[in-house]
Amino acid sequence: MARRPHDRSRSPDHARRGRSRPRWAGILATGVACLAGALGGCASRANSIEFGVQPDRYATAFDAARDVLIEARFEIDRVDAAAGVITTHPKPSVGLLAPWDDEQTTLVQEMGDATSTQRRRVRVTFEPAAVDRPREARGQAGFTPVAGAAPLDLRSSDVALTARVEVYVERVRRPGTRLETESIRQSSQTLDPSLRSRGMALEYTTTVDSDDAFAARLAERMRERLGQ
């Protein structure tokens, strides 16, 4: 009498292994989901241009913001701790031609700064967390104080604050510039005598974009100084 082949699919061990697969698969899926969520939270945090500041740490946060800007080789323009504002003078960069500059985040920015005369200026503001101030384009303040309201001195305030970092890209334009396609160094410029006679500048600056990627990196450095 021929022996029937052993059907391993019916063995107790195989059954236990079969039942365990969904459980381990579920654990693995849960772990992957948790890891993705954690990484997503880190990415979201790293891409934020804002961070919270408790009132008792305002002085530390304000100094940290200023120090980060100085370390990034920006020249400070305005420092107003009472109003919670720090601004910088525009800092020029030539992108790929200056590898020591780290303002650029993408290759497109590197190329743009290398082929155009561009510079960046930074504005850091601290405001009560309850204030919803929409950011207007071109770096203009969008919050209008209530008429008759006394300005809040943040140095003696006991409310939670939100710090916001804004970076704006300016482009220097020179009318009459003729770009040479073969070599940028061979470019020439024609001067309009009437501009000088009318007291008009031979070049002017316009704000062409905001740089949230660089602003987020600056904000992250400020958070790190605060131990957040």
Segments making up each domain of the chain, as ranges: 48-135+153-174+202-226
Summarize the confidence of residues 28-54 as an average pLDDT.
Answer: 62
Q: State how far the Cα of 117 lies from the Cα of 113, in Å rounded to an integer.
A: 6
Helix (H/G/I), strand (E/B), else coil: 98: coil
Are 210 and 167 spatial neighbours (Cβ–Cβ below 8 Å)? yes
Q: Give residue 145's pLDDT.
A: 44
What is the value of pTM for the model shown?
A: 0.62
Q: What is the DSSP letter of 174?
A: -
Q: State how far the Cα of 114 lies from the Cα of 205, in Å rounded to an integer.
A: 17
Summarize the confidence of residues 18-23 as an average pLDDT.
Answer: 44
Percentage of the chain beyond pLDDT 90 is: 38
Q: State how far the Cα of 27 lies from the Cα of 151, in Å rounded to an integer.
A: 55
What would the pLDDT profile of 53-85 be if each residue is shown by its tens digit? 999 999 999 999 999 999 999 999 999 999 999
Please compute, for residue 162, the number of CA atoms within 13 A of its CA located in the half-sphere on the CB side. 11
User: What CATH class does 48-135+153-174+202-226 carry?
Assistant: alpha beta
Alpha helices in 83-165 (DSSP H): 107-115
Q: State how far the Cα of 182 lies from the Cα of 187, in Å rounded to an integer.
A: 9
Residue 124's nearest CA partner among 70, 82, 62 is 62
Q: Give residue 221's pLDDT.
A: 96
